[in-house]
């Protein structure tokens, strides 16, 4: 018997990442996500060219705000990460991972990174295509507006990381209702609080990310919402992401995930 030494955290995380990536690429969720992103991009491009008086810059900004920050940035990470643990437990395939000498932290991290990388890739690609298509006939703003789009991309990636961690967390602690609980959390804490007036809006990381992207405040009585410095979203979203990841990983590490019979 020549059993190899157990893989280190990095190697184990990479192996889980590759496995999860491969499964996502072949699954229906990625295709569904790509279709939804494409629909949003196409809708914005149609809006841009259908109205002769439309200002391309404004159409792009509204498209980013409504299409990405109000819809896709919730939906895509949710699709690709909420079932990462829960679906494996329910399908009884989690046992193949849990019985390997990889440590459950690596399982959580590998799955999280694969889901977030794919979600972020989809959204960034969507934003890029939308930007190019919007300014296709006007080369000057194509470059002038690029920094704004890049900021939006950065904010979207940050939110992907956070929402991926939130969905992983709920998937780990509430495996049988991972989707519902994740959706409720995102709907109430992130979406609903993001529209409230005053300081309540700071509960929503989505709102902070829109400020990082330089988008208008929107929501109810935006005039009552204090302005934020650029560092505030970063200082809030990054620790929140780490917090949800750590608690999610701890839940995976401690849980028995017993779906077997006696």
Least distance between another protein and beta carbon 19 (Å): 5
- Cβ neighbors of 123 (< 8 A, separation 6 or more) are 37, 68, 72, 73, 76, 153, 156, 157, 160
- Cβ neighbors of 33 (< 8 A, separation 6 or more) are 75, 76, 79, 80, 119, 122
DSSP three-state, residue 177: helix
**Per rule CB under 8 A, is residue 10 in the interface with another protein?**
no
**Per rule CB under 8 A, is residue 7 in the interface with another protein?**
yes
**Per rule CB under 8 A, is residue 230 in the interface with another protein?**
no
| Minimum CB distance to another protein smaller for 97 or for 167 | 97
| Region binding another protein by CB under 8 A among candidate stretches 99-107, 122-130, 178-186, 191-199 | 99-107
| Minimum CB distance to another protein smaller for 2 or for 140 | 2
Size of the site for another protein (CB under 8 A): 37
| Minimum CB distance to another protein smaller for 104 or for 217 | 104
The angle that helices 28-50 and 9-26 make with each other, rounded to 10 degrees, is: 70
**Per rule CB under 8 A, is residue 31 in the interface with another protein?**
no
- As a three-state string, the secondary structure of 33-83 is HHHHHHHHHHHHHHHHHHCCCCCHHHHHHHHHHHHHHHHHHHHHHHHHHCH
The residue written with tokens 């006939």 in the block is 137
**Per rule CB under 8 A, is residue 188 in the interface with another protein?**
no
**Per rule CB under 8 A, is residue 239 in the interface with another protein?**
no
| Minimum CB distance to another protein smaller for 7 or for 197 | 7
Residues 234/158, Cβ–Cβ less than 8 Å: yes
Which residues sit at the interface with another protein, rule CB under 8 A?
Answer: 1-7, 11-12, 15-16, 18-19, 22-23, 26-27, 91-93, 95-104, 253, 256-258, 260-262
């Amino acid at each position: 018997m020549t059993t190899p030494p157990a893989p280190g955290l990095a190697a184990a995380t990479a192996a889980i990442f590759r496995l999860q990536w491969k499964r996502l690429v072949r699954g229906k969720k990625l295709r569904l996500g790509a279709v939804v992103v494409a629909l949003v991009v196409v809708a914005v491009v149609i809006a841009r060219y259908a109205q002769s008086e439309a200002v391309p810059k404004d159409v792009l900004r509204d498209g980013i705000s409504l299409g990405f920050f109000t819809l896709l940035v919730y939906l895509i990470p949710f699709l690709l990460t909420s079932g990462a643990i829960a679906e494996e437990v329910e399908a009884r395939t989690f046992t193949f991972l849990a019985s390997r000498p990889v440590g459950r932290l690596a399982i959580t991290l590998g799955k999280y990174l694969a889901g977030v990388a794919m979600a972020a890739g989809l959204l960034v690609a969507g934003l890029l295509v939308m930007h190019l298509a919007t300014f296709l006939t006007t080369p000057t703003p194509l470059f002038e507006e690029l920094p704004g789009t890049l900021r939006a991309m950065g904010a979207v990636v940050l939110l992907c990381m956070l929402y991926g961690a939130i969905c992983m967390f709920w998937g780990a602690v509430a495996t049988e209702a991972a989707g519902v609980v994740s959706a409720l959390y995102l709907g109430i804490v992130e979406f609903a609080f993001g529209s409230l007036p005053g300081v309540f809006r700071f509960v929503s990381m989505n709102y902070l990310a829109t400020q990082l992207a330089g988008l208008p405040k929107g929501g109810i009585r935006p005039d009552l919402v204090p302005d934020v410095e650029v560092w505030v979203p970063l200082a809030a979203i990054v620790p929140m992401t780490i917090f949800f990841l750590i608690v999610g990983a701890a839940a995976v590490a401690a849980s028995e995930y017993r779906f077997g019979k006696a």
